[in-house]
Amino acid sequence: MSEKLTEERIRQVPKVLLHDHLDGGLRPQTIVDLAEESGYTELPTTNTDELTAWFHGASHTGSLERFLETFGHTVGVMQTRQALVRVAAECAEDLAADGVIYAEIRFAPELHLDGGLSLDQVVEAVLEGFGQGRDRAAERGHSIRVGTLLTAMRHAARSREIAQLAVRYRDVGVLGFDIAGAEAGYPPTRHLDAFEYLRRENAHFTIHAGEAFGLPSIWEALQWCGADRLGHGVRIVDDIEEFGDGKVHMGRLASYVRDQRVPLELCPSSNVQTGAASSIEEHPIGPLTRLRFRVTVNTDNRLQSGTSLTGEFAKLVDAFDYGWDELQWFTVNAMKSAFLPFDERLSLINGQIKPGFARLKWASD
């Protein structure tokens, strides 16, 4: 059965993406163009093929901190309104062409102020770009909805301000909040006031936790901060013991995560690059799927990881022999976990996802 799940077919099924960074998804040619327009001279090369390879190689170091250094170049060329509009529009177009029908794209407004834009102007430029990209995709027959998550950098001190920004723009495209950046040494509780504020505002947030640091980070994100979802959360496997005879022992935190159906925004290729997993075959998505955690599959950074959502699914199909049923399960899991009103989630599941998979499944029989 699995030999029928080619990339071409996987691209055709309706997919849902919850964890993807705007500044981790630029087209290499766009980086070169924007660098030239803005006089940014720090790029390692202006040859697009070499630049593509450079991002991939420089990100595959086994260290999250080194991985994050590559963002200096993408953020470096995203400092004007036009640049942000272009990058956001192309992001929506690229995802739509990959068969993504619903995406939540995150970025950190505080990283885009060097050209003199205000936080509000940064958010407005990105929202405008998503709108343009969605319209251009529709002209080509691809329908996509794109929501935005505002990220605060965990080493910085602007999380409360960014949380307020997210609430201010909640009715015009911003769906939630996140914190990202180096994890070790920057526990989520540093930003407790931002999370408490968001909860009082009935707002949604996810936290990068359990990627480069283990269970204490996940525990704080859930039990101190009240995160709705976990960005990665992959180290939850440290709280699970599997024995050769098929018996499984789960610690209290892993049980909580599974029982509460806490969504895990898993990003397999990214984890291999940062050393959070040793290979796709060894990635904890295997046991976490088998144990029926609320697993979702994501790209994290399409540029740095040289991937797409279709690409991530194809790698999982190869490594774990997954079929349409598993891919549909990941997709429905993601849609259920989106920061979109319940009725809209339901209508995407019943109106697009299930019929889309059914069509492809029949075609494979």
Ligand X SMILES: O=c1[nH]cnc2c1ncn2[C@@H]1O[C@H](CO)[C@@H](O)[C@H]1O
**Which residues does the annotation place in the binding site for substrate?**
21, 23, 181
Q: CA angle, corner 258, sides to 11 and 230, nearest 5?
A: 60
Active site residues per annotation = 211
Shortest Å distance, C-beta 61 to Zn ion: 16
- Give 103's strand partners: 17, 146
Which of 11, 15, 21, 283 touches ligand X by CB under 6 A? 21
Residue among 161, 144, 90, 150 nearest 303 (CA): 90
- What sign results for the dihedral spanned by CA atoms 299, 302, 306, 307? positive
110 binds ligand X (CB under 6 A): no
Binding residues for Zn(2+): 19, 21, 208, 300
24 binds, among Zn ion, ligand X, none (CB under 5 to 8 A by kind): ligand X
Question: Pairing relation of β-strands 248-250 and 240-242?
Answer: antiparallel
- Per CB under 5 A, 300 contacts Zn ion: yes
Burial class (CB in 10 A: 0-12, 13-18, 19+), 3: exposed
Binding to Zn ion in span 208-247, by CB under 5 A: none
Q: Is 23 in the site for Zn ion (CB under 5 A)?
A: no
Question: Which lies closer to ligand X via its Cβ, residue 24 or residue 99?
Answer: 24
Residue from the set 270, 289, 298, 331 that interacts with ligand X by CB under 6 A: 270
Of 16-24, 80-88, 278-286, 315-323, the window that binds ligand X (rule: CB under 6 A) is 16-24
Which strand ranges, in their side-by-side order, compose the sheet holding 174-180? 15-21, 100-107, 145-153, 174-180
Cβ 255 to Zn ion shortest distance, Å? 25
Judged by CB under 6 A, the residue of 83, 95, 111, 338 near ligand X is 111
> 18 CB contacts (<8 Å, ≥6 apart)?
103, 104, 206, 229, 263, 265, 296, 298, 334, 337, 338
Closest distance to ligand X from the beta carbon of 352 (Å): 27
Residue 357: CA count within 13 A, CB half-sphere: 18
Site membership for ligand X, residue 108 (CB under 6 A): yes
In the chain, count H helices and then E strands. 18, 10
Tell me the residue number closest to Zn ion, measured at CB: 300
Residues that bind ligand X in the complex, under the rule CB under 6 A: 21, 23-24, 64, 68, 71, 75, 106-108, 111, 151, 180-181, 208, 211, 270, 300-301
